Amino acid sequence: MTMLIYLIPFISAFIGYFTNWIAIKMLFHPKNPVNILGFKVQGIFPKRQQQFAQKLGVLVANELIHFDEIADKLRDPKQLAALTPTIEKHIDTFLSVRLKEKIPVLSMFVTGSTLDKIKDGMMEEIESLLPQIITQYTDGLSEQIDIEQMVTEKVSNFSSDKLEEILFAIMKKEFRFVEILGGVVGFIIGLLQVGITLLQ
């Protein structure tokens, strides 16, 4: 009997670990409602997927994605400077090739230095207009795109397997910690039980 008492912490640890493992599994399973003794049982996330999707949509729209911040990033001088070489290359091609193809007579009267001046003027105008264009574009996007609705619909349409896969990828370490914690707490409770029993 005395030897069996010392097994109590290990049995308690197993029960604690197994209980938490079951609890985590029941977050996702059963994926469809199952009748057990007259009660409908379904995993918490599959059952509340629509509410979860709505809450996530609100969170993303209100806290994570703001079109004003996107516009500020795009208007940043470093971002605009990164666009300059590409814009300049297209203007060069337009002035030296396409414009002459469309209006051949220009090549007889417009010199290279004149084209350079035209290019410089166009670049100055584009550089001054870009921030305004970006602002107008992002303002239009904010009116046309409903981030909350997009996220809500996307998550609502996930299959149960997909939702489980995503959440496990995000919280795998946390779920594992909960399982181990159950074992540790169970072991400690078992030790306390052994101590109390031996003191009696």
For the stretch 142-161, pLDDT in tens is 778 888 899 999 988 888 88
* pLDDT tens digits for range 92-134: 888 888 877 787 777 677 777 888 888 888 888 888 888 888 8
Q: What is the pLDDT of residue 187?
A: 93
Q: What is the pLDDT of residue 175?
A: 92
Evaluate if residue 64 carries a pLDDT over 70.
Answer: yes
Q: What is the mean pLDDT of residues 40-45?
A: 86
Evaluate if residue 182 carries a pLDDT over 90.
Answer: yes
The number of C-alpha atoms within 13 Å of 14 and in the hemisphere containing its C-beta is 4
**Residues of the chain with pLDDT > 90: what percent?**
21
List the domain range (segments joined by +) for residue 98.
2-199
CA-to-CA separations, 75 to 67, 72, 115, 125, 134, in angstroms, rounded: 12, 5, 28, 15, 7
For all residues of the chain together, what is the average pLDDT? 86
Q: What is the mean pLDDT of residues 171-179?
A: 92
Evaluate if residue 136 carries a pLDDT over 60.
Answer: yes
Domain total of the chain: 1
Q: How far apart are CA 185 and CA 80, in angstroms?
A: 57
